[in-house]
A and B are shown apart, each in its own frame.
Chain A
Amino acid sequence: MSRHWRSWLLWGVLSAALAGVFAAGLTVDSAQGSSWRAEVRSLFLPGATSHGHYQIELKCNACHGAAFGGREALQEACVKCHGAELKAADDKHPKSKFTDPRNADRAALLDATQCVTCHVEHRPGITRFAGVTLSDDYCAICHRDIGKDRPTHQGLAFTTCASSGCHNFHDNRALYEDFLLKHAAEPALLEQPALPERNFAKVLEDLGSYPHDRYPVKPLGRDAIDAGSNLKAPAPVVDDWLATAHAKAGVNCSACHREKEPAGEHAWVERPSHKVCTTCHEPEVKGFLAGKHGMRLVQDLEPMRPALARLPMKHDAGDKPLTCIACHGAHRFDTRAAAVEGCLACHDDTHSRAFKASLHYALWQKESKGELPAGSGVSCTTCHMPRVSHRTPDDVTRILVQHNQNDTLRPNEKMIRSACLHCHGLQFSLDALAEPKLAAANFKGQPAKRIESIDMAKRAEARAEGSRRKAKDRGQGG
């Protein structure tokens, strides 16, 4: 009898302990790093997440905000992070297209009011390019008769719709017919290839959000530094700072090292976070937080480290926490170093390793030596973090660096407008981006195949011209 009782007690204790372990994993606030609670929490994952979300997969409520919120709560979470980007991309399939009653029959087949209809998470077995979990013929659900409206599309297989250089479900800003025609005659290399210049210094005076009162724009010297006893002399950081745009523009030590506390006092902070950078560089930080480098910070997780990445990274960089200074280097803030060495210090895939043998890098080196004018070299960031036009809330147009490296990838045609077309013609860009081998070799070489999009647009235009002529001959066309 007593043995029987002891077995039950043991069973009870073990069950309680097991339940406790699972509860600890489930309720941990920020599952991260190698804590055992994170390990336990990972047991709850219903399947590995996609490349887009694996960094935050243990922060369940990043997507599953409300425990029983259903599809709506999930959709809200998608829009919270991806909504602005879709809006900026002139999304060709917005929700309103599918809530329109006239499309009820189509929405019944493809309910694209919900992101998860096409992008299901935790399903690695069926997750394909760009996190799509539908079968390849999804365009045909609504557009199977496209050949009737567009003779150029007759007989095309459904696998060609979303192939490189043709159509994307969301972003077609570089692929619409009139855009193809407008850029049809461009040579592979433009006569005057050049990148737009950043204009922060030029528009500083117009920025209402800039702390003009505390840090008026004027060059500062060694004697002006306001770090006081917080700076342990002699410090090489002073020399680094003196060489920067910060020192030239009046950005003193305290601008970054003193953060406002809730009480209103500014306390000295030895290692400022990205939050302090937003004081002057808000759109840049916003981009950084929206991309793979900063997305964990938005979820209050520890910064991303290369060791956690799914792409090949250099071993010695594994533990580097990705904050602003990981690439920009505190005090020096050398943007040229950030644009190449910032990336190559960690990234170790074929494309990255091929960069220094590329023509793009040769141009970059010539520009660095002063042999070519500013804006003629090509760094990693020229394509992956391009200079884009940004309108501030006070209606100032800034040319700044898009720090969200996802903004120009998956599909890579997203970089045509913001990167390729500054130097190359559209046909060449379409052809080059469509060849994975060429991309892997960092575009050393020439594209072998011609993408037909522009030719098709020209054929459609010629057909329209014929129809216009006929109408004119008939005396129509008031």
Chain B
Amino acid sequence: MKPMNPLIRPLVAGGIALAALTAAAAEAPSGWSYKEIADALHAIMESDRTVYTRNVVNRLQNEEKVIKASEHWKDDKALPLPAQMFRYGAEMVAEKNAGFTYSLLSLWPVNKQNAAKTAVEKEGLEAVAKSGQPYYKEETLGGKKYYTAVYPDKAVAKACIACHNDHKDTPRRDFKMGDVMGGVVLRIPMK
């Protein structure tokens, strides 16, 4: 075999390495089930959401009373509500075409656009409200198949129930600490 041109050698080596890396990157998710991916994503969402609700909103508004949280946080120079914080993140993820979508829904939504809409959402929200456990199902929307996971969203701080029980548009005013107030609905498109 003819010896390889010294200029081409590193290129070929790099190409092989890149091919190997690409293959590794493509193979990695196959070891993950849809459920595991959904659970992992939700673990991040729930943790961030709890940190913001407890350590920012509940601490500063309800305990230290130094700043308020408001739906109209820009006008009121206040903190965004935990539900808004969650929604803005979800919108940003959607803008990035990250491949999955999520939203915070409820059987007792303050904003009626966040009521259950699809059959799986209804079923899922009812199931998590009863059991307090996640619910998983496949569903087809707009001709595409999704792996849909619904996770219970519980009242983790006084701020959650105080606001929801008092809000003008709330359909329910008897939430207590620890109650399932709604659910995080996460959808992963299925291949």
**Are the C-beta atoms of A478 and B165 separated by less than 8 Å?**
yes
**Are the C-beta atoms of B141 and A478 separated by less than 8 Å?**
no
**Alpha-carbon distance A111/B161, docked complex (angstroms):** 36
Interface SS majority for chain A = helix
**Are the C-beta atoms of B141 and A96 separated by less than 8 Å?**
no
Other-chain contact of B112, A149, A176, A468 (Cβ < 8 Å)? A149
**Are the C-beta atoms of B174 and A471 separated by less than 8 Å?**
yes
Interface 1/0s, chain B 142-153, versus A by CB < 8 A?
111010000000
Task: Point out the residues of chain B lying under 8 angstroms from A478, CB to CB.
Answer: 161-162, 165, 174-177
**A79-102 interface (Cβ within 8 A of B):** 90, 94-96, 99-102
**B88-115 interface (Cβ within 8 A of A):** 90-91, 94-95, 101, 103, 112
Instruction: Known contacts A101-B144, A104-B142; decide if A471 and B173 are in contact (CB<8 Å).
Output: yes
**Alpha-carbon distance A327/B151, docked complex (angstroms):** 59
**Alpha-carbon distance A90/B88, docked complex (angstroms):** 11
**Alpha-carbon distance A198/B143, docked complex (angstroms):** 55
Instruction: Known contacts A464-B169, A478-B176; decide if A179 and B142 are in contact (CB<8 Å).
Output: no
Task: Point out the residues of chain A lying under 8 angstroms from B141, CB to CB.
Answer: 101-102, 104-105
**Are the C-beta atoms of A96 and B94 separated by less than 8 Å?**
yes
Instruction: Known contacts A100-B101, A104-B142; decide if A179 and B173 are in contact (CB<8 Å).
Output: no
Other-chain contact of A477, B165, B185, B187 (Cβ < 8 Å)? B165
**Alpha-carbon distance A304/B176, docked complex (angstroms):** 63
**Are the C-beta atoms of A95 and B95 separated by less than 8 Å?**
yes
**Are the C-beta atoms of B185 and A102 separated by less than 8 Å?**
yes
**Interface band, chain B:** 20 to 34
**Alpha-carbon distance A123/B95, docked complex (angstroms):** 30
Q: Does B71 contact A (CB under 8 A)?
A: yes
Q: Does A178 contact B (CB under 8 A)?
A: yes
**Are the C-beta atoms of A101 and B75 separated by less than 8 Å?**
no
Other-chain contact of B166, A103, A176, A477 (Cβ < 8 Å)? A477
Q: Does B130 contact A (CB under 8 A)?
A: no
Q: How many pairs of A and B residues are in contact by the CB < 8 Å rule?
A: 70
**B139-191 interface (Cβ within 8 A of A):** 141-144, 146, 161-162, 165-169, 173-177, 185, 187, 189
**A56-110 interface (Cβ within 8 A of B):** 90, 94-96, 99-105, 107-108
> Closest residue of chain B to A103, judged by CB?
B117
Interface 1/0s, chain A 415-429, versus B by CB < 8 A?
000000000000000
> Closest residue of chain B to A178, judged by CB?
B72
Task: Point out the residues of chain A lying under 8 angstroms from B169, CB to CB.
Answer: 464
**Alpha-carbon distance A178/B94, docked complex (angstroms):** 28
CB distance from A173 to the nearest CB of B (A): 8
**Are the C-beta atoms of B91 and A94 separated by less than 8 Å?**
yes
**Are the C-beta atoms of B146 and A101 separated by less than 8 Å?**
yes
**Are the C-beta atoms of B72 and A101 separated by less than 8 Å?**
no
Instruction: Known contacts A108-B142, A478-B165; decide if A102 and B173 are in contact (CB<8 Å).
Output: no
Interface 1/0s, chain A 432-467, versus B by CB < 8 A?
000000000000000000000000000011001001
Q: Which 6 pairs, one residue from A and one from B, show the smallest C-beta to C-beta distance?
A: A104-B142, A96-B94, A471-B173, A476-B174, A464-B168, A96-B91
Can you list 10 A-B contacts with CB-CB less than 8 angstroms, sorted by A residue number? A95-B94, A101-B187, A102-B187, A104-B141, A467-B173, A476-B165, A476-B174, A477-B173, A478-B161, A478-B175
Known A99-B101, A102-B185; 11 more pairs at CB < 8 Å = A90-B74, A95-B95, A100-B101, A104-B143, A460-B168, A468-B166, A468-B173, A471-B174, A476-B173, A477-B173, A478-B176
Point out residues on A near B: beta carbons under 8 Å. 90, 94-96, 99-105, 107-108, 149, 176-179, 460-461, 464, 467-468, 471, 474, 476-478
